[in-house]
A and B are shown apart, each in its own frame.
Chain A
């Protein structure tokens, strides 16, 4: 959702694509997560449309959710950079 609003199946596809197919999000797990993230104020409803007779409901990050994601991403980048620096130091990584 960092790149914009997404509907349920698009999120499933996004997770599969981001993880190179390693993580296969089940529909039940998706709605459990959407409920939890909505409850926590991380995401919110962004619109809905009917496509081929099917309801698509879109979700997007709230301002708080965007801040949380940015902070968590920075933290992970920082940890990864430290790990890479240490690997280079011991010659384990070109």
Chain B
């Protein structure tokens, strides 16, 4: 075995065993042929792409699996949900602080990077509706800028609420992980519906939009409201998942579960992080149900060896 083929073969460790056995020799041969024909830099990009696809196959994130299809469905609605959440944070988080007649707290990312972050998400959605094929790059840019913004706001002593920022960032994850498909669909109306539903649910779940002032800012108690009123939303989300699953719309059901992940996780993680808050039992039940649902999606999406081809395969072996 040459050094080149040994290096190529190591990349196969990224793939599940069944896939390795089925296609390993073929991939190594293609890599070797490509490496011989190209400059070393190009052969490095070939290796990286083979490793990336191996990770995708191992995690069930290819366009043929349930997980992959669900992520594709959830991708653009997730970004739209993020944009509407940003809009909500601006209206119910930042503006009440600015309008407050009381002392001006160092709270919320306003006057630092907050509105800029929300604007990035809103612009990101506008761009993704026009060029849906760039959803991964756009999501990556929105997520990176949000994380950088969080760090900058911390430096400016403005303490942006890390939980809200975490929810915002995680809404970009489906776009980042979704597999490449032939045609990336825009899904404008379903996505806008999901965004508007999120916006409406936040208004119902929290009441920070009433009586503008420091203590009514979503940044002051929004996560608390999410954690304590979330059960109603959780029950709705899980019921939606169950109905869609039973009615055989399993890819849409999985997408709904993926999009509800940050809300359900934060509903339990936030009170757990604070010793003086109790965790709602219903939120814990929702988290367990969510985990079971996600396990179901991941298990269904595991790589399975293909059934033998109906075409007779002839080994020509001229070089053997």
Contacts and interface: CB of A to CB of B under 8 A. Distances in A.
B27 to A, nearest CB: 6
Nearest to B56: A32
A47 B42 contact: no
B3 to A, nearest CB: 15
Nearest to A9: B33
B23 to A, nearest CB: 7
A36 B56 CA distance: 13
Of the listed residues B30, B42, B314, B317, the one surrounded by the most CB atoms of chain A closer than 10 A to its CB is B30
Given A8-B29, A56-B29, A47 B313 contact: yes
B320 interface: yes
Of the listed residues B28, B29, B315, the one surrounded by the most CB atoms of chain A closer than 10 A to its CB is B29
B105 interface: no
B23 A49 contact: no
Interface residues of B, number: 42
A39 B25 CA distance: 20
Interface stretch (B45-53, B152-160, B200-208): B45-53
Contacts of A45: 309, 311, 313
Contact of B50 (A9, A31, A39, A55): A31
Contact of A55 (B26, B54, B63): B26
Contacts of A12: 30, 34
Interface string A41-66: 00011111111111111000000000
Nearest to B30: A8
Interface residues of A, number: 31
A13 to B, nearest CB: 8
Given A36-B63, A38-B306, A47 B46 contact: no
A24 interface: yes
Interface string B255-292: 00000000000000000000000000000000000000
Contact of A49 (B37, B46, B56, B316): B316
Given A44-B309, A45-B309, A54-B32, A35 B64 contact: yes
Interface string B3-40: 00000000000000000000101111111111001000
A78 B97 CA distance: 59
A48 B315 contact: yes
B64 A36 contact: yes
A27 B62 contact: no
B31 A55 contact: no
Given A29-B49, A51-B318, A9 B30 contact: yes
Contacts of B130: none
Contact of A50 (B62, B309, B315): B315
A26 B46 contact: yes
A27 B31 contact: yes
A27 B30 contact: yes
A45 B310 CA distance: 9
Of all A-B residue pairs in the complex, the 8 with the closest CB atoms, nearest first, are A28-B49, A26-B49, A49-B316, A54-B29, A8-B30, A28-B53, A9-B33, A55-B25
Interface of A: 7-9, 12-13, 24, 26-32, 35-36, 38-39, 44-57
28 contacts: A8-B29, A9-B29, A9-B30, A9-B33, A9-B37, A12-B34, A27-B31, A27-B49, A28-B49, A28-B50, A30-B30, A31-B27, A31-B30, A31-B50, A31-B53, A32-B56, A32-B179, A35-B62, A38-B306, A39-B64, A47-B313, A50-B319, A50-B320, A52-B319, A53-B319, A54-B25, A54-B28, A56-B26
